[in-house]
Amino acid sequence: MSINADTPFWKLVLKQFDDLLVKILIAAAIVSFLLAMINGETGLTAFLEPSVILMILAANAAVGVITETNAEKALEELRAYQADVATVLRNGCFSILPAADLVPGDIVEVSVGCKIPADMRMIEMLSDQLRVDQAILTGRARAAVIGVGSKTAIGRIRDSMLKTEDETTPLKRKLDEFGTLLAKVIAGICILVWFVNIGHFGDPAHGGFLQGAIHYFKIAVALAVAAIPEGLPAVVTTCLALGTKRMARLNAIVRSLPSVETLGCTTVICSDKTGTLTTNMMSVSKICVLHSANHGPSAAEYSVSGTTYAPEGSIHDGTGTPHGGWRGGHVAPLLFETWAVGDGSLFGFGISSSGLDPSSSGRSLGFFSLVGQARLLEFPAQFPCLLHIAMCSALCNESIVQYNPDKRNYEKIGESTEVALRVLAEKVGLPGFDSMPSALNMLSKHERASYCNHYWENQFKKVSLLEFSRDRKMMSVLCSRKQMEIMFSKGAPESIMSRCTNILCNDDGSTVPLTASIRAELESRFLSFAGKETLSCLALALKRMPMGHQALSLDDEKDLTFIGLVGMLDPPREEVRNAILSCMTAGIRVIVVTGDNKSTAESLCRKIGAFDHSDDFIGRSFTASEFEELPGLQKSVAVQRMTLFTRVEPSHKRMLVESLQHQNEVFILEIFPQKVAMTGDGVNDAPALKKADIGIAMGSGTAVAKSASDMVLADDNFATIVAAVAEGRAIYNNTKQFIRYMISSNIGEVVCIFVGAVLGMPDTLIPVQLLWVNLVTDGLPATAIGFNKQDTDVMKAKPRKVNEAVVTGWLFFRYLVVGAYVGLATIAGFIWWFVYADSGPKLSYHELVNFDTCSTRETTYPCSIFSDRHPTTVSMTVLIVVEMFNALNNLSENQSLLVIPPWSNIWLVGSIIVTMLLHILILYVQPLSVLFSVTPLSWAEWTVVLNLSFPVIIIDEVLKFFSRDRHGNTHAKVSYKLIY
């Protein structure tokens, strides 16, 4: 039965009793109860044992309900991190809000790849096409909300649908298989325990053969209930859910629990560059235009200050290019811009101090002031190329920049490259009058955010849009003004330049043919921007369209006029370099996958250490076209060595994933299958994300990409992926530690009962005591192990193999050693009281193991001594205390307690304290001590309990030492492979 928030409480309770062993124990308690009535027994003692058994089973059920409820709550909280978002217009500004916060009347804007967040009615089209495929919306539009949540059409259907059961994780399947095997082994041992004690069925203490048989049957069944970890799946789910909540706080939102396990197996991370390895705080820092074509091509290069989304910064001429022109009157006259078109005609318009003035005419010059070695442009918009770059940046753009008064900063909605162009348009300003810079600074921050952009958008009407596509690597917009149609385009430099036949000159606004020498000059500047300066580059162009042209087609994107080249700075994140080094140490390859230029990406990879400090990129850096041209065998070699994959389209991402998944890595002469993590954010990235072993979507990405992914990065940060891998490994380790604690402790209980029965001693523990131990040791301490901190060497081990057993041979040996000690220490406490304790009878060992013949021979002690509650109390206390020390052993699989001290997991320390207080309660409070057949212990007895329990720490420290030695050799071999 699957558990969810709607499951009734009574069903949760009944589920805890839906276990064969529990049912058998209940039946045994009822039979014992009936026999007592048939025999005429009266008083509390006659019905004490069956009553206490039923009470403890009820308490166990309560613990089970709480555990499963907490696991489901943790999963529900995890799902809350995955809430959809929407771009909403409120108070005159667009902002990104959770979809659950929408109300009827909100205006929502959706774009390519967005999920429709509510029932909405269309009010405006912002693109030529709008295609809707269920939850996928292609195009751009605005709509008014008319229904939200359960009041939507889909919401009403959802209420009538059955909830699908959660997917069982591979780890849980492995644990179920291991648990089934363990249950069979323990059940066999329990049956053997019952048969071994057949000779004691007739002991007078039991009141008859049948009563003796039932007594030992209850011991066998209680032992099975205590030893078999029936609560394992629920606690594992809790452990995984708690871990994923920690990951969510690290900004890694896991969408499915199986991916937590796969994270620990990741061998290759294919990471996007922009926004993941870099800050994605794009800002235009360089501009290159053609100054003049006279006497050979002369390029002008400008630097732009300011690295945020604030419209604050200036433009400097760093080349020392001379400029000339007129400047007349108190107010600068209009700028007259000209374009050469096919028939040689010119067109233009002017701007006066009061705004657009089509009747104005004249010409002006932008003057300089010196700032250091660079010359400040006081009026950048007076230069033809800079002016048209500003126009194109404002009009060929789908982003929004606005001021957030609550956060007191400027925010973006849309692509960072487009936002950078919007900010550039603000820095260029508007042409035509002297007071422009100071006038703009007098505006409020809200108005200033997009004042110049809005100006151009008001002057030109957008008629048609060709959206960006990865095959064209460009976008275009058709704008109309005063019976003049112009197409503005922007895109990858090679895509734009290949479509250009003319170029705009910055000195006089003339248009000249784009000759081979000019192309060479521009390409040289482009390579300098992309390579040495690590700038992402875009080229801008325009084209005069025939009058009355109303729609764009792909054929229109030719014979363009080149305006200029902009280089955008996107600095690497500070934490990325250490994250990549951590991956290398952990045996994880990092492949940078980007649609950017090869030179730019190589320069970035050198900065972040992705090339492992090597300057030889041959065989490690490929463009998509270079990779596709390789023969089959060379492709396999390239995939094994690849570090950088550039000019990539979404289809190439899927191809890369498939190629990597078919590769096998050799670690220490073992075949090691690749497990690939791939990042993505666009609609077209969805197939690659789905195909990857771990699909990682960006928090700023499309809803389609998120729905296809296994994990979402809320902060788009590569370092978060590495932190998530480390957390995934830690979660798996904690799960193993929990299993190790339960199994080793349960093995100890089996050893205790079985060895005691084989040796012929009295009952070391009675059924109610076994069940009490199970209740207090398998509850709080086991769950608290899930809060263990990461091992210090969690990212120094090679990735775990997916098919690796949860319990390996060496681990199981450790379970047996620790479990054997737990059981023998419990028996030792029992023997100590009878043979050595000052308060005990000081029997010989021979007399102890022949207790059943006491009544048939002469002894110096009364036979009632074997019914004393002290020895079983000592055994029970030793078992609980040794298991508490064993819980401390499980703070780490291999790290010493000297390295990871007990207080590193305060929850575990607290659970141990609570467990011991509960045990002391039943020892020293009279009604409870009678119920559990225990008695208060003296300080001497407590000293023996501690002396017998503590060595389990020393034993496990020795086993950990040998484990570290084994893993140390593995680390050395992995490091050797990574270096050579």
CB burial of residue 891 (10 Å; 0-12, 13-18, 19+):
buried
Is 46's pLDDT higher than 60? no
Q: Which residue has the higher pLDDT, 132 or 668?
A: 132
Letter for the amino acid at 912? I
Please give the pLDDT value at position 45.
52
| Cα-based distances in Å from 267 to 373, 429, 708, 718 | 49, 50, 21, 15
Q: What does the alpha-carbon distance between residue 712 and residue 697 come to, in Å, rounded to a whole number?
A: 5
Please give the pLDDT value at position 330.
28
Task: Report the range of poorest mean pLDDT among 38-42, 253-257, 822-826, 853-857.
Answer: 38-42
Residue 136 pLDDT grade (very low, low, confident, very high; cuts 50, 70, 90): very low
Mean per-residue pLDDT, 932-959: 93
Task: Report the range of poorest mean pLDDT among 336-345, 391-400, 612-621, 675-684.
Answer: 336-345
pLDDT, tens digit, for every residue of 726-760?
A: 888 888 888 888 888 888 888 888 888 878 877 87
Is 921's pLDDT higher than 90? yes
Which residues contact residue 142 at a Cβ distance below 8 angstroms, ignoring those fewer than 6 apart?
Answer: 89, 107, 108, 109, 123, 124, 126
pLDDT, tens digit, for every residue of 827-851?
A: 999 999 999 998 888 998 888 888 8
Is 404's pLDDT higher than 80? yes
CB burial of residue 520 (10 Å; 0-12, 13-18, 19+):
exposed
Q: What does the alpha-carbon distance between residue 214 and residue 220 come to, in Å, rounded to a whole number?
A: 10
Q: What does the alpha-carbon distance between residue 717 and residue 713 come to, in Å, rounded to a whole number?
A: 7
899 three-state secondary structure:
coil
Q: What does the alpha-carbon distance between residue 224 and residue 220 come to, in Å, rounded to a whole number?
A: 6
CB burial of residue 372 (10 Å; 0-12, 13-18, 19+):
exposed
Is 39's pLDDT higher than 60? no
Please give the pLDDT value at position 508.
86
Is 272 among the residues known to form the active site? yes
Mean per-residue pLDDT, 763-784: 80
Please give the pLDDT value at position 2.
42
Please give the pLDDT value at position 922.
92
b/e 274-305 (16+ beta carbons within 10 angstroms → b):
bbbbbbbbbbbbbbbbbbbbeeebbbbbbbbe
Nearest alpha-carbon partner for 60 in 49, 52, 71, 48: 52
Please give the pLDDT value at position 205.
62
Under 8 Å between Cβ of 538 and 492: yes
Q: What does the alpha-carbon distance between residue 946 and residue 941 come to, in Å, rounded to a whole number?
A: 9
Q: Which residue has the higher pLDDT, 184 or 873?
A: 873
Nearest alpha-carbon partner for 660 in 647, 687, 678: 678
Task: Report the range of poorest mean pLDDT among 60-64, 389-393, 924-928.
Answer: 60-64
Please give the pLDDT value at position 495.
93
Please give the pLDDT value at position 230.
57
Residue 68 Cα to chain centre, angstroms: 23
* Degrees, nearest 5: CA angle 943-947-951: 160
What proportion of the chain, given as a percentage, has pLDDT over 90?
26
Please give the pLDDT value at position 264.
80
| Cα-based distances in Å from 209 to 400, 761, 790, 868 | 87, 18, 55, 22
Mean per-residue pLDDT, 213-228: 70
Sign, CA torsion 457/463/467/472: negative
pLDDT, tens digit, for every residue of 476-532?
A: 999 998 888 999 999 999 999 999 999 999 988 899 999 999 999 999 999 889 888
Active-site residue (options: 101, 159, 166, 272): 272
Residue 70 pLDDT grade (very low, low, confident, very high; cuts 50, 70, 90): low
Mean pLDDT of the chain: 78
Q: What does the alpha-carbon distance between residue 519 and residue 584 come to, in Å, rounded to a whole number?
A: 41
Highest mean pLDDT range out of 74-78, 368-372, 860-864?
860-864
Highest mean pLDDT range out of 11-20, 63-72, 545-554, 662-671?
545-554
pLDDT, tens digit, for every residue of 417-466?
A: 999 999 999 999 988 755 666 778 788 888 889 999 999 999 999 999 99
Is 954's pLDDT higher than 50? yes
Please give the pLDDT value at position 595.
85
Under 8 Å between Cβ of 761 and 838: no
Please give the pLDDT value at position 164.
34
Task: Report the range of poorest mean pLDDT among 543-547, 781-785, 962-966.
Answer: 962-966
Please give the pLDDT value at position 165.
40
Please give the pLDDT value at position 152.
62
Residue 49 pLDDT grade (very low, low, confident, very high; cuts 50, 70, 90): low
Task: Report the range of poorest mean pLDDT among 127-131, 445-449, 821-825, 863-867.
Answer: 127-131
Please give the pLDDT value at position 201.
76
Please give the pLDDT value at position 355.
36
What proportion of the chain, given as a percentage, has pLDDT over 70?
75
Please give the pLDDT value at position 280.
82
Mean per-residue pLDDT, 712-724: 89
Task: Report the range of poorest mean pLDDT among 57-61, 131-135, 551-555.
Answer: 131-135
Residue 588: Cβ within 10 Å count: 22
Is 971's pLDDT higher than 60? no
Task: Report the range of poorest mean pLDDT among 52-66, 523-537, 580-594.
Answer: 52-66
Residue 107 pLDDT grade (very low, low, confident, very high; cuts 50, 70, 90): confident
Task: Report the range of poorest mean pLDDT among 182-196, 466-480, 761-775.
Answer: 182-196
What is the full DSSP assignment across 118-150? SEEEEEEEEEEEEEEETTEEEEEEEEEEEE-GG
Is 31's pLDDT higher than 80? no
